Amino acid sequence: MMDNLISSVRSAIKEVFGDGWEVTKIDFEGPFVVLYTKNMELVANQPELIKMLAMKIHRRVVIRPDPEIMMPEDDAKELIYSKVPKSAEITDIYFFKDDGEVVIEAKNPLEVRGENDKLINEIKKNIGWLPVLHRTPPLKSKIVDDINALLRLVREERKKFLNDVAKRISRPRLSEEGEGMKRERILRLTALGGYQEVGRSAHLLMSNESKVLIECGYDVGNGALPYLNMPELLPIDSLDAVIITHAHIDHSGILPVLFKYNYDGPVYCTPPTRDMMTLLMLDFIKVNQNEGGKPLYNSEHIRKMLKNCIAINYSETTDITPDMRLTFHNAGHILGSSITHIHYGDGEYNIVFTGDFKYEKTWLFNPATNKFPRVETLVMESTYGGYKDIQPSRADASSMLTSIIKRTMERKGHILIPVFAVGRSQETMLVFNDAIKNNEMEPIDVYLDGMIYEATALHANYPEYLNSNLKVEILKNNDNPFLKPYFKMVENSAMREKIINDESPSIVLATSGMLNGGPVMEYFRNWCSDEKNTLVFVGYQAENSMGRKIQRGISEYAYMDKNGEHKTIPVKMAIETCDGFSGHSDRNQLINYVAKMEPKPRMIILSHGDPHKSHELAVTLRNKFNIEVKTPSNLETVRLL
């Protein structure tokens, strides 16, 4: 099969380029066709021909220089420094000889590109290496540094893995006609978690050819895992691919368990999702250990997962099995979150998984994408699908939070905001930044405790995934709101203790968002008995979580101290809920998403919602759009084709 593929690629090259372009080697890495050439100048000057070639072979194409034309590393580095203006502020240059890549890290990478990419193409032509531009991180991220170091370390191993993935994608289709028989094409979706409930999301998409798992989450509130032991899924290594829509633990938290039980296939996600879910998984292990539990996996399983991650940007279409292609689109939920579009067969069927999404422009992101070439089935969240699930606008939420802060500051109290490290933390920071900038609030120290600083560093490092306004602020105006001096990282327990004991007003954003452990509990234990202080909920509180119990008005908080003694503290601090910060679409946004969707799906399957909310939304969508709407339970299978 691979020989046939190589032959078809060579034919397509000749058709597009004629005899004017020599390819010295053809390789396959996952969904990519890699072409090595001695004539990089031709490619640099005619990028439209590469696009034409990719369309002809229905694969993504990567061009790399033949090793014979690559300039010695020291000479190449010297030439780059001489050509690139100092205003680019290059901070590092390093080489990957096997791939022919030279990574140029700069504070202003657009200056390295030059007008219409003229400068970068000139550099490419002169040095024979393939320049790859990276923006110098404005905030140092340990997780990004560690991931990059790991991927450099396993580069050879990863190339072999990607070659194996390419072979698996290119294998002959079982359902092709043969021996006088035509096999029936079948496509089914099995609910393995997150149906008529919130948490442990997992969908299994199966055809005659392929088996793809979308999401692999953990129910933080109830400690429940998806149904990974079902016959449809087993053996684990029969899976062709895993797709992760976003990094939250209820969508990705159990992924390393697959590698613990011999999965060795690819994981498809966006680059920020890869980094963010690694951060959250490592914290998940730490929280388990701190609470005396036995973690479900260890860091070795996370490293294995990272080696197998294939990071795909928005709008890039990628083959993932012999009969499925994948495209990610913006979901507007958290950094890197994606609406997942899967194209099945040769135009037979298209299915869209929303994951968690926000159909509204937020402080961080543009509204979720709902325009697709084709869609037959939409698998959509229904978290806020109930009749009464209408949230305030972002503007109203901002005004409400600012008002709560000002009232607490007037009575010289502390403000404690339990947050998830990802998303709500950064949006809350932006609200404070705008309020201070517009003189609606006095400048005040805002302390970031837990993983929030690291998660914020990731947001600062991926400005291209933020909304249009933020991108302009950060990339063109050089005004990064996450770098303001009043945002301070809590570096250690001594600093935390100092903040707790300081009598002057302060704001603390701390994890975990549902008060199920983490540094937020230390602040709560010390501040909850003082009525001057305020606890503000800006995120969803799951049933059975400590956050939900406090939200409902418990008068006392019982806990066990470091010496194992049971203690009880009265809860006298003000408890406020500030709605409108959710990264989920409310009922109106869910309905509008379908109303404005192009094209309209033939069927909608609802997941990620409590039973009554899923059913209430289903009734409305059915009546309003005359579309078939299903609300399956876990372990049910829906035949799509």
What CATH number has the domain bearing residue 354?
A: 3.60.15.10
Q: How many C-beta atoms surround the C-beta of residue 165 within 10 A?
A: 24
CATH of the domain at 131: 3.30.300.20
361 and 292 both lie in a single domain: yes
Q: Is residue 144 part of a domain?
A: no
Report how far residue 423's alpha carbon sits from residue 97's, in angstroms, rounded to the nearest whole number.
38
On whether both 64 and 76 belong to a single domain, the answer is: no
Q: Which of 68, 102, 118 is the last residue of a domain?
A: 68
Asked if pLDDT for residue 179 goes beyond 60, the answer is no
Mean pLDDT of 140-161: 90
Q: Which amino acid is at 573?
A: M
Strand partners, 309: 267
User: In this structure, what CATH number is given to the domain that contains residue 35?
Assistant: 3.30.300.230
Cα–Cα distance, 7 to 13 (Å, whole number): 10
Q: Say whether both 78 and 64 belong to one domain.
A: no
Distance (Å, whole) CA 596 – CA 558: 49
What is the distance between the alpha carbons of residues 317 and 39, in angstroms, rounded to a whole number? 27
Within a domain: 503: yes
| Per-residue pLDDT band at 403 (split at 50, 70, 90) | very high
87-91, 220-224, 508-512: segment of lowest average pLDDT: 220-224
For residue 585 the two structure tokens come to 């679409």
Are 188 and 326 members of one domain? yes
48 and 115 belong to one structural domain: no
Cα–Cα distance for residue pair 233/253, rounded to 1 Å: 18
Domain identity same for 79 and 63: no
Percent of the chain at pLDDT above 70? 98
Cβ–Cβ < 8 Å for 396, 580 = yes
Residue type, 282: L
What is the enclosing helix (H) or strand (E) of 290?
Answer: helix 271-290
DSSP 72: P
Average pLDDT taken over every residue of the chain: 91
Residue 97 within a domain: yes
Radius of gyration, CA atoms only, the chain:
26
How far is residue 80 from each of residues 67, 106, 613, 621, measured CA to CA in Å?
A: 19, 12, 58, 57
Q: Which of 289, 271, 288, 29 is nearest to 147 (CA)?
A: 271
61 & 76 share domain: no
What's the CATH number where 540 sits? 3.40.50.10890
Residue 286 neighbours by CB under 8 Å, 6+ apart: none
As a whole number of angstroms, the distance between CA 38 and CA 302 comes to 38
Overall average pLDDT of the 224-247 stretch: 95
Phi, psi of 330 (to 5 degrees): -60, 135
Question: Does residue 145 form part of some domain?
Answer: no
Structure tokens at 583: 């990264």
Residue 167, domain member (yes or no): no
One-letter identity of residue 194: G
**Residue 275 counted as domain residue:** yes
pLDDT value of position 1: 62
- Write out 107-160 in H/E/C secondary structure: CCHHHHHCHHHHHHHHHHHHHCCEEEEEECCCCCCHHHHHHHHHHHHCHHHHHH
Same domain, 196 and 296: yes
How many beta carbons lie within 10 A of that of residue 314, not counting itself? 16
Q: Is 587 helix (H, G, I), strand (E, B) or coil?
A: helix
- Tell me the two tokens of residue 618: 């289903």
Distances (CA, A) of 296 to 66, 170, 278, 288, 293: 45, 34, 15, 9, 9
CA-wise closest residue to 206 among 86, 404, 349: 349
- Is the domain of 311 the same as that of 455? no
Q: Is residue 415 part of a domain?
A: yes
- Residue 485 scores a pLDDT above 60: yes
Instruction: Look up residue 461 and give its two tokens.
Output: 């490092």
Handedness of CA 470, 471, 474, 477 (dihedral sign): negative
Which helix (H) or strand (E) segment is 249 a member of?
helix 249-252
| Band of residue 534 on the pLDDT scale cut at 50, 70, 90 | very high
Query: Does pLDDT of 183 surpass 70?
Result: no
The reply to whether 635 falls in a domain is: yes
Which residue shows structure tokens 């002809």? 56
Q: Which of 10, 36, 68 is the last residue of a domain?
A: 68
What residues have CB less than 8 Å from 231, skipping those under 6 apart?
A: none
In angstroms, the first-to-last Cα distance of the chain is: 27
- Range(s) of the domain holding residue 99: 70-136
Q: Helix, strand, or coil here: 513?
A: coil
Helix-strand-coil percent breakdown of the chain, rounded to 5?
35, 20, 40
Tens of pLDDT, residues 410-419: 999 999 999 9
* Lookup: tokens for 369: 């994408």
Structure tokens at 628: 């078939």
Q: What's phi and psi for 133, nearest 5 deg?
A: -95, 130
- Report the side by side order of strands in the sheet with 637-639: 309-311, 267-269, 241-243, 211-214, 202-207, 187-193, 637-639
Please report the pLDDT score of residue 352 as a whole number.
98
Place of tokens 């090793």: 67
Contact 423, 335 (CB under 8 A): yes
Residues 214 and 355 in one domain: yes
Provide the β-strand partners of residue 203.
Answer: 191, 214
Mean pLDDT of 437-449: 91
Tokens of residue 610, six digits: 């409590």
The model's pLDDT over 579-637, given as tens digits with 9 standing for 90+, comes to: 888 899 999 999 999 999 999 999 999 999 999 999 999 999 999 999 999 999 999 99
Same domain (yes/no): 326, 200: yes
Of 18, 45, 68, the residue at which a domain comes to its end is: 68
Which tokens sit at 420? 């998830």
Torsion of CA 606, 611, 615, 618, to 10 degrees: -10
Report the percent of the chain where pLDDT is more than 90: 63
**Domain count along the chain:** 4
> pTM score > 0.85 for this model?
yes
Domain identity same for 465 and 350: no
pLDDT on residue 21? 83
In DSSP terms, 349 is beta-bridged to 344
Tokens representing 57? 């072979």
Q: 18-63, pLDDT tens digit by residue? A: 877 888 999 989 888 999 988 877 766 677 888 888 888 888 888 8
